[in-house]
Amino acid sequence: MIDFRYHLVSIVSIFMALAVGIVLGAGPLKGTIGDTLTEEVTQLREDRTQLRADLDAAQKAGVVRDEFTEDALARLVGGTLTGTKVALVSLPNAEADQVSAVADALGASGATVVSRTSVDDSWVPEGDDASAQQSQLATDLRRSMGLPQATEGQGSPLDDVLASALLAKDAAAPTDAAKAALERLGDAGLVDLETADLVRADAAVVVGAPVSGGVVERRDLVARRFASLAAALDRAGNGAVLASDVGVSGFQGASSVVRAARGDAAITRDLSTVDDLSVPLGRVSVVYALDQQLAGGVGQYGVGDGVSAGYPPVPAS
């Protein structure tokens, strides 16, 4: 009986509270509540209007800055890399417009793009058979080029082969073995090289793209492998820059080669990255970052995670 009374009192109390709320809301507090709600709605509308105006102003300012940087790009980078020979390497799904824009920026800086290489998706093999075939090819090519046996790591045993074929710290290094290695890599469908006559470069610029498709583990593996390739290109020459477009929050359902590189302290100790390649400032940053690399410096630039600054130091001259 005590339990029943307890529940009965609780139910009555609830209904009494509801009744009191209804009476107050319809009576003495009606005006106060209505005025408060009206004021809050009005304030929210004003805030929304102000935010829209701020966004429009920021977008217009961004467009103006991009247009200025695009128009002034030749002057901003002119003479920065005069006499530098660059190997331009594009990773799978890199946008052709971005690759061309980087090539134009390098040309405006005084550099010469001596080779253009497109790397195929098959650079990161799937399955035991493909991995075994690539390992055997790497063993043969490393021996023919005088490279040491590959050590276990997250990169491909072919990374140093491609890097050493495209770049050399010594301008007088022979090219016969390099040409043969590139032909073998091309015949295997791993790369596509555009060059009339191979000239080894001093430095490299790698243009990447978001890695999409498949499961997350596969995408992350591919991103790490291509980050290791960029690091190998950096070791083979006098510097390298890995550039892509990451954005502030990255891409949903995709992995980033730049993010993978920045997540490896051993890579970012030597390799520079740029993550805003889709805007003119990003292309200026590629030139300045490569100039910094040739002087022995390194940095991570752009608007994404893990940057050391928005853009590299402006060259003195």
Mean pLDDT, to the nearest integer, of 290-310?
Answer: 95
Averaged confidence pLDDT in the chain: 87
Considering only CA atoms, give the Rg of the chain: 29
Tell me the pLDDT band of 23, cut-offs 50, 70 and 90: low
Q: Is the pLDDT of residue 95 over 90?
A: yes
Tell me the pLDDT band of 9, cut-offs 50, 70 and 90: low
Report the pLDDT value the prediction gives residue 258, as an integer from 0 to 100: 95
Give the Cβ contact number of residue 284 at 10 Å: 24
Report the pLDDT value the prediction gives residue 68, as an integer from 0 to 100: 65
Tell me the pLDDT band of 110, cut-offs 50, 70 and 90: very high
Mean pLDDT, to the nearest integer, of 261-269?
Answer: 95
Among 54-68, 119-133, 258-272, name the one with the lowest average pLDDT: 54-68
Q: Is the pLDDT of residue 3 over 70?
A: no
Report the pLDDT value the prediction gives residue 294, as an integer from 0 to 100: 97
Domain 79-301 has CATH 3.40.50: yes
CA geometry: angle 64, 67, 73, nearest 5 deg:
135
**Chain segment 131-179, per-residue pLDDT in tens:** 999 999 999 999 999 888 877 666 789 999 999 999 998 766 778 899 9
Tell me the pLDDT band of 1, cut-offs 50, 70 and 90: very low
Among 47-51, 59-63, 116-120, 180-184, name the one with the lowest average pLDDT: 59-63
Among 101-105, 185-189, 192-196, 249-253, name the one with the lowest average pLDDT: 249-253
Which string of DSSP letters, residue by residue, matches the chain? -HHHHHHHHHHHHHHHHHHHHHHHHHTTTHHHHHHHHHHHHHHHHHHHHHHHHHHHHHHHHHHHHHHHHHHHHHHHHTTTTTT-EEEEEE-TT--HHHHHHHHHHHHHTT-EEEEEEEEPGGGS--SHHHHHHHHHHHHHHHHHTTPPPPPSSSS-TTHHHHHHHHB-SSTT---HHHHHHHHHHHHTTSEEEE-SS---BSEEEEE---EESS-HHHHHHHHHHHHHHHHHHHHHSS-EEEE-B--SS--TTEE-HHHHHHT-HHHHTT-EEE-BTTSHHHHHHHHHHHHHHHTT---EESSSTT-SBSSPPPP--
Q: Write down the domain spans for the chain.
A: 2-59, 79-301
| Residue type at 153 in one-letter notation | G
Mean pLDDT, to the nearest integer, of 174-185?
Answer: 90
59 token code pair: 């977008």
Mean pLDDT, to the nearest integer, of 116-134?
Answer: 94
